[in-house]
Structure 1
């Protein structure tokens, strides 16, 4: 630990982990209101918010410092917040650096935490107080490329996705926010395939993982990984699997007439529903060409965020298709029990004087509904989406760059979000709907004690 520059972050012991998906991992409930009113411009030129809301800067590329004394890296993207054993908050933060370790915003290559020497992407863990004040930031993963979004696991870790399949990259890696030692000797999770990964979400009952792909020539698709018999979710278990463990399959949606839906863009009406089957991937490490090039599957341009939450009482995977209808965007919900994919939200939306479009990262809100970050041709927003599909603005970026990685603190009081360029992590507070407890009305089922390891924190 002395050689890695992470000595002295402190040690605490925690027992079985319960509810580590946090408030954002609980089933989305109908929102009690649709919006907080007009956004007020920030005199500091960073973040326009509704009256009564405020923000603080948590980390800023090149200005705040890592525990190793390096400058904080930049190019922020996907993120997730977890409870620290001492009552504080741990935010795992992706850095979508596409170049090498000398590029601007690159994650420092700390010994023991670096996969390859040719890449500048990775993840940091940011520790804050419950109200979002910075305590420290440290490297958890380096030497990966184009770390875009990802997903939380029911056992309390973060899956970070490489949004590239060039030069032998294109994998998912697991990051443990509590036990930093578990992140040493990083290895790709080859069972989840090598492709242009965007985001993923995990069914907490079956441990099935749903993954999105953001690319073209041809467009990407949605994948489902079914774990092998006997697989138990715990930190480090995924990277120990063989490349052919479980089954990786691509989505094939059909309309009511039984015709294959080639492109999700053809669905334009809320409530449109397709039947889904899954086509197995034989060459999941892409040794013979891109895995998405197989025939008979459904594709979309810019498949983005993924999050596990209820829709009308049915648990399933929310999936974002960002470029439909000239980059206005859609949100779909896949119900595995019914094997159906249903269109729940269509953008663009005009509300409170703002145009909300081009959804990207997504998270379920503790007070109900969803929160999305947007990345379009106009203004970029954080937006809420009520359970009936109505969208409304929560924040507007005044920094000329997209929002990334919305995630709520475990108590549901702080919304963390990034501005990608050059890289700023913000903590937003305000009068979130007080009539609903964090997580809405039903709790995420915790894992049984014997499936969750006891872990140490740094």
Structure 2
């Protein structure tokens, strides 16, 4: 009989801790004070001794976050889509929407889709349509936008950011703007209006200078979480000082005034790395520490601290931070995190390509856990993942992670269970980038960053696709 750690926790929470541990071959109670294992019978009143009934034992401390899989975890085997050899689940459909070096909308204003499309997001429009924005991980970089009508027809394409360098990923804000991140040593975050012009874009130096990869905003805590694409990178949090009028006219966070911090996992401070996977798979407490010299490139600051003190700079080390996204649960649907104060409201998922791990950060309880890794969470018959990259959470709660390298897959992460493969792009030697869902979850956009492109179809500069998701996988 095989019982997962999550099964154990559920049994213990329901009062069956002893049975669960026995089924797993254990004989002692959990460190969180779970029931069972001792064989002692508590004193009860009415036996003539007057011994009071002891108070009930506290619930066991959770070892994993109570995460749930979304409907895409039920997809079946892949079939040929009929488009560029891309393999997708049966019942889904695929179309090519843009090719680097070509006009996405023939006959429209002269605008060529950018080379090396990378991180992206979808923004709903007032007429029922939407805009998909996409970074260019090129020199120069920038951001392009594809405008779709309510019927899904591509009606316009235009730039929203110019004159930047190697724009890798980024993040959508709750007030409807796009944060585009530069992946260079002195990189900054640039805020763009998906409906606007490049002249409206603004840089926000207070959010730090480092090899920015991706960003995710939590309004409840006035925080922007950011990954860093360095082998000794950190996970950052920018705590805004308040709210201001945004470039699109809405009310957003003040991204020019606040505090820049790095995350430290307890026991792994000052550049330490969580080497032991068994330990990293269980939730651990975290703290946030102010960065030193936030106006300087952080890789240089870390080197200066190391050289001057012989110790690592603040922050736990994360190997090659990549995609990041936040999943929310509304009131009434928030699970209890046993043994901790707050229910599960918001979880930050972020991927690290250096060790092929996906972490889950409980924002309110300050807890972290590795929820995907290559040593145990691979579907039967599938190769290990190579360089996990961009990441997105669907409106239905599916965590989808893109992969670089030779296999080139989009995978559906099933927390603490084998992943499901959503699609596979043939050829290798590229990256799958920019996964982003429409608000209703019916469409997923993504790019093969170095697919054949240009007027001749020879230049390896990228193509962008749209995957249609059947209604049965959106409930």
TM class, shorter-length: 0.7 to 0.9
8 Å Cα contact 1:126-1:134 kept in structure 2:
yes
Give the aligned partner of residue 243 of structure 2: 231
**Cα distance change of structure 1 residues 33 and 308 upon mapping to structure 2, 3 Å threshold:** closer
SS at match of 2:206: helix
Cα distance per residue 1:105-163 (max 9 Å; x no partner)? xxxxxxxxxxxxxxx10101111234644212101101111111111111011101001
Give the aligned partner of residue 169 of structure 2: 149
Cα distance per residue 1:171-191 (max 9 Å; x no partner)? 00011113x04x415332111
Is 1:423 matched with 2:453? no
Cα distance in 2 for partners of 1:434, 1:185 equals: 38
Structural mapping, 1:72-87, within 5 Å: 72-87=113-128
**Unaligned regions of 5+ residues in structure 2, if any?**
1-65, 306-312, 330-334, 336-343, 451-460
Structural mapping, 1:236-255, within 5 Å: 242=256, 245-255=257-267
In the TM superposition, what is the alpha-carbon distance from 1:393 to its structure 2 partner? 0.2
**Cα distance change of structure 1 residues 434 and 369 upon mapping to structure 2, 3 Å threshold:** closer
TM-score (norm 1): 0.74
Cα distance per residue 1:182-208 (max 9 Å; x no partner)? x41533211101100001111121221
8 Å Cα contact 1:38-1:352 kept in structure 2:
no
**Cα distance change of structure 1 residues 416 and 290 upon mapping to structure 2, 3 Å threshold:** same
Is 1:308 matched with 2:326? yes
**Cα distance change of structure 1 residues 320 and 159 upon mapping to structure 2, 3 Å threshold:** same
TM-score (norm 2): 0.72
Structural mapping, 1:265-276, within 5 Å: 265-268=275-278, 271-276=281-286
Give the aligned partner of residue 449 of structure 1: none
Structural mapping, 1:342-421, within 5 Å: 342-347=369-374, 349-351=377-379, 353-355=381-383, 357=385, 358-376=387-405, 378-400=406-428, 401-421=430-450
8 Å Cα contact 1:359-1:374 kept in structure 2:
yes
8 Å Cα contact 1:356-1:393 kept in structure 2:
no
Give the aligned partner of residue 189 of structure 2: 172
Structural mapping, 1:215-230, within 5 Å: 215-216=230-231, 219-228=232-241, 230=242
Give the aligned partner of residue 320 of structure 1: 351
Cα distance in 2 for partners of 1:419, 1:287 equals: 30
Two-structure CA RMSD over aligned residues (Å)? 2.8
Higher relative helix content: 2
Structure showing greater Rg: 2
**Unaligned regions of 5+ residues in structure 1, if any?**
1-26, 100-119, 437-458
Cα distance in 2 for partners of 1:268, 1:94 equals: 36
Cα distance in 2 for partners of 1:81, 1:424 equals: 17
Cα distance in 1 for partners of 2:110, 2:67 equals: 40
